[in-house]
Amino acid sequence: MTSRVMVTGGAGFIGSHLIDLLVEAGNEVVIYDNFSSGRHEFVADNLKNPAVSLVKADLLDLKSLVVAMKGVDQVYHLAANPDIRLGTEVTDTDLKQGTVATYNVLEAMRLAGTKKIAFASSSVVYGEAAVMPTPEDYGPLFPISLYGASKLAGEALITSWVGTFGLQAWLFRFANIVGERGTHGVIFDFIHKLKADPARLEVLGDGHQAKSYMEVRDCARAMVHLVSSQNEAVNFFNLGSGDVCSVARIAEVVVEESGFPEVSIEYTGGSRGWAGDVAKASLAVEKLNATNFATNFDSEAAVRHTARALIQEIGLHEI
Amino acid sequence: MTSRVMVTGGAGFIGSHLIDLLVEAGNEVVIYDNFSSGRHEFVADNLKNPAVSLVKADLLDLKSLVVAMKGVDQVYHLAANPDIRLGTEVTDTDLKQGTVATYNVLEAMRLAGTKKIAFASSSVVYGEAAVMPTPEDYGPLFPISLYGASKLAGEALITSWVGTFGLQAWLFRFANIVGERGTHGVIFDFIHKLKADPARLEVLGDGHQAKSYMEVRDCARAMVHLVSSQNEAVNFFNLGSGDVCSVARIAEVVVEESGFPEVSIEYTGGSRGWAGDVAKASLAVEKLNATNFATNFDSEAAVRHTARALIQEIGLHEI
C-alpha cells in the first residue's frame, strides 16, 4: 500500500537512500530538510518525479512543519545533528536539533492528525552497556554523549505521544551507518586526513574502539521492511549487521583501499576518541533477523564498500 | 561535611522538606524557585536562618541561574511541572519546565564548575513495565506521559554530562510522594472534592489503579542518605516504600479520615485515570534497602498520614 510519507532529513546521507526506496515503491514523498548537512545532489534525481516534493525549512519552524504535515500518513524522522563530537563544544545543538525538533514533529503530527512515526534513534542510547551484544530491552539507559541524550529524549517523547495521543511508532536504534553519500564519521575523516597527508594517518584513541557498522542501503531496507511488517503500538529494533569492526581495522582497510603505498598509522592513545565517545558498542540483532531480514554486508564489508565509494566521491587522488 | 547546596523547586512540596533536613545538617542552602507551585510559607522559617538564601527566578532564565550557581557544590534538582495530567492538554510544559530547565541546570553547573547533581526522576520513566516490582535496571524505558518523557530526558541529559563533562549524579526514581504540604495528587484532589460535596466522591478510573507511595520526609531522608553514602559516577535508585496502595483503598482511607458519615464513592470506570496515566506501578526497593535505609511509613500508612495532614491544611470542615 502506498501512502503520503514525510522524511525529515530526507536530503541527508541516510534520508536520501530511504527516499530512493520510498519513491521506488510508489509513495508520495515529502522531503523536509534544512540542508544543514543534506545536499541537493542527493535528491536531485528523485525531485524530477512529480510524486516527490521538497520543503526546505528547519524543524524548529513549527509553522512550516504543520503546513507540510497536512495529509501525511507516515513520518520517517531522521533529521538531527549528525556530529556526535560537537556536543563536547556546543551544548545546545542536540537539545535543539534533536529533542526540541522531535517535539515539533510530534506536535505537528498531533495538529495534522498524522498517526505513524518511524524514528532514527541510535545505539548510543545504551551508553557504556554492561551486556554485549546489547539487546533492545537492556537497561539502564545512560547515554554518555549529548547526542545520545537527545536520541533517548526523542524516543521518550515518541512513546509518550503513543501513550497519550494514540500514535504508532517504530524506533530504530542504529549501529554506525556507513556507505555512499556519507558526510561524516570515521571513514570519511580518515579519507580526508589521507588526502591532506598521504604519508600519515592519525587515529584518535588506541584503535581498540570497536563498534557495529551497517551499510546505509541495508539500513534503509530494514526500516521500510519493519514499518510494513511490524504492527505493535511501539515497535523497537536494533539495526546493525550483527558483528563489530575495530577502529584499527577501519584504518587498515581505508589505507588498503587508498592505494597509497606507505602510510604510517599513528594512534593518539587512550581508550576512547573523545569525551562522550562510546569505545565499545555491539548491537544484538536477533530481533531484526527474526523478522526475516538479512543484511547484504557485515561490518567490515560495509566499511570496505564505504571506503571505496567515499574515495571516489571525495576524490582522494585529485589535487 | 557541610557544603553549599542549591535546591531547585526548594519552596515546593518535596523541596521544602529537603530544605528542612539540609539546614538542620548545617549546610548553606540556596533555594531556587519560581513559585509556580512553591509557597513562601513552606520555607519562611528556614529563611530566618542566615545560612539560607532565596533566589526567586525561573530555571528558563539561564543568566540568573548561572549567577546563583556560583560557589554551589551540590545541586538537588527537584523543580518541575508537578501535574502529570496537564500534558494531555498543554504539550510544551514538560518540555520547557522539565527537559529544557534540566539542560539549563546542567549548563549553569558546567559554567560555574559545580560537579554534583541529585535529580528527582520518577517511576513513570518505566511506563507500563512488564516486570513488577520494577527494578532499576529494567528496560525498555517507554514512558507514556509527557511528564515521564521529560523525566527520562532529564536523566539522559544528566548522564551525558557525567560522560562528557565529568559530573557526578544521583538519580532518584520517585514513587508517588505524599505528605504534609502536598499541593497536588490524588489525596489532595479527593479532599477538595469532599470539601465541595461531602456526600459524594468521584474517582477517575475503576479504582483498581495501584501504585507505590512514599511519605515525603522518608523521601527527603532517603535522598540525603544516598547522596552522602553512595559514590559511583551515576548512582540510581528507586525511592519507595516497597508496597502499593490502590486508588479504591485511598478513597476509603480519605473518607474514613474525613469523618463524613455517608460518602458515596463513585467510579468513572476504565482501567486508568486519564490518557498517559500508568494504572499499575510497583517499585522494587531492594537496592535502597541494601544501603541500610528504612522508611517510617508503608504505602497505606503514608496515605493515611497524608490524608490527616491535608485535611487539617485544607480545612475540610471549614466553610
CB contact under 8 A, A140 and B136: yes
In this structure, the answer to whether residues A9 and A150 fall within a common structural domain is yes
- Chain B positions touching A275 (Cβ under 8 A) are 163-165
For B85, which residue in chain A has the nearest alpha carbon?
A164
In this structure, the answer to whether residues A192 and A219 fall within a common structural domain is no
Indicate the average pLDDT of chain A: 96
Residue A285's pLDDT band, with cuts at 50, 70 and 90, is very high
pTM here? 0.97
In a domain, A117, yes or no: yes
Is A318 a residue whose pLDDT tops 90?
no
Q: B214-252: per-residue pLDDT in tens?
A: 999 999 999 999 999 999 999 999 999 999 999 999 999
B319–chain A nearest CA distance, Å = 38
- Please give the average per-residue pLDDT across A40-46, as a whole number: 97
In this structure, the answer to whether residues A115 and A250 fall within a common structural domain is no
CB contact under 8 A, A149 and B159: yes
Overall residue count recorded for chain B in this entry? 319
CB contact under 8 A, B110 and A91: yes
Quick check: A236 contacting B, CB < 8 Å? yes
Is B292 a residue whose pLDDT tops 90?
yes
- Cell numbers for B179: 505528605
Residue with cell 526567586: B56
Asked if residues B170 and B118 have their Cβ atoms less than 8 Å apart, the reply is yes
CA dist list (Å): B207 to B32, B266, B267: 37, 9, 7
Residue B319's pLDDT band, with cuts at 50, 70 and 90, is low
- Chain B positions touching A107 (Cβ under 8 A) are 91-92
Quick check: A229 contacting B, CB < 8 Å? no
Asked if residues B126 and A159 have their Cβ atoms less than 8 Å apart, the reply is no
- Chain B positions touching A281 (Cβ under 8 A) are none
In this structure, the answer to whether residues B290 and B308 fall within a common structural domain is yes
Residue with cell 594517518: A201
- pLDDT for the residue numbered B1: 63
In a domain, B319, yes or no: no
In this structure, the answer to whether residues B31 and B154 fall within a common structural domain is yes
In a domain, A319, yes or no: no
In this structure, the answer to whether residues A120 and A96 fall within a common structural domain is yes
- Chain B positions touching A136 (Cβ under 8 A) are 139-140
CATH number at residue A268: 3.90.25.10
For B154, which residue in chain A has the nearest alpha carbon?
A153
In a domain, A197, yes or no: yes
CB contact under 8 A, B143 and A160: yes
CB contact under 8 A, A164 and B88: yes
- Please give the average per-residue pLDDT across A138-167, as a whole number: 98
Residues pairing with A173 in the sheet: A121, A238
CB contact under 8 A, B149 and A159: yes
In this structure, the answer to whether residues A173 and A36 fall within a common structural domain is yes
For A91, which residue in chain B has the nearest alpha carbon?
B107
How many CB pairs below 8 A link A and B?
A: 146
In a domain, B74, yes or no: yes
B residues 131-150 near A, CB within 8 Å?
136-146, 148-150
Quick check: B9 contacting A, CB < 8 Å? no
The residue out of B224, B239, B254 marking a domain boundary is B239
CB contact under 8 A, B156 and A141: yes
In a domain, B76, yes or no: yes
B272-289 as b/e: b if 16+ CB within 10 A: bbeebbbbebbbbbebbe
CB contact under 8 A, B149 and A157: yes
Higher pLDDT, B184 or A307: A307
In a domain, B169, yes or no: yes
CB contact under 8 A, A95 and B100: yes
Residues pairing with B267 in the sheet: B203
For B111, which residue in chain A has the nearest alpha carbon?
A91
- pLDDT for the residue numbered A54: 98
**Who among A137, A142, A149 is closest to B234 (CB)?**
A142
* Number of structural domains in chain B: 2
CB contact under 8 A, A139 and B143: no
CB contact under 8 A, B164 and A275: yes
Q: Note down the domain range covering A300.
A: 179-211+243-314
Asked if residues A169 and A118 have their Cβ atoms less than 8 Å apart, the reply is yes
- pLDDT for the residue numbered A57: 98
Is B272 a residue whose pLDDT tops 90?
no
Beta strands across the sheet bearing A28-33: A52-56, A28-33, A4-8, A74-77, A116-122, A168-174, A234-239
Q: A255-273: per-residue pLDDT in tens?
A: 999 999 899 999 999 988 8
- pLDDT for the residue numbered B161: 98
In this structure, the answer to whether residues A228 and A191 fall within a common structural domain is no
- Please give the average per-residue pLDDT across B1-19, as a whole number: 95
- Please give the average per-residue pLDDT across B10-32, as a whole number: 98
In this structure, the answer to whether residues B50 and B134 fall within a common structural domain is yes
Report H helices in chain A. Answer: 13-24, 40-47, 62-69, 93-94, 101-112, 146-165, 186-196, 216-229, 247-258, 286-289, 299-314
CATH number at residue B88: 3.40.50.720
- How buried is B90 (Cβ within 10 angstroms: 0-12 exposed, 13-18 middle, 19+ buried)? exposed
Is A118 a residue whose pLDDT tops 80?
yes
In this structure, the answer to whether residues B104 and B193 fall within a common structural domain is no
Residue A240's pLDDT band, with cuts at 50, 70 and 90, is very high
In this structure, the answer to whether residues A140 and A230 fall within a common structural domain is yes
Residue A95: what residue type?
Answer: L
* Percent over 90 (pLDDT), chain B: 93
In this structure, the answer to whether residues A157 and A251 fall within a common structural domain is no
Asked if residues A314 and A192 have their Cβ atoms less than 8 Å apart, the reply is yes
Q: Rounded to an integer, what distance in angstroms lies between the CA atom of residue B195 and that of residue B158?
A: 42
Quick check: A160 contacting B, CB < 8 Å? yes
- pLDDT for the residue numbered A193: 97
Residue B114: what residue type?
Answer: T
In a domain, B121, yes or no: yes
Is A298 a residue whose pLDDT tops 70?
yes
Asked if residues B143 and B102 have their Cβ atoms less than 8 Å apart, the reply is no
Residue A317's pLDDT band, with cuts at 50, 70 and 90, is confident
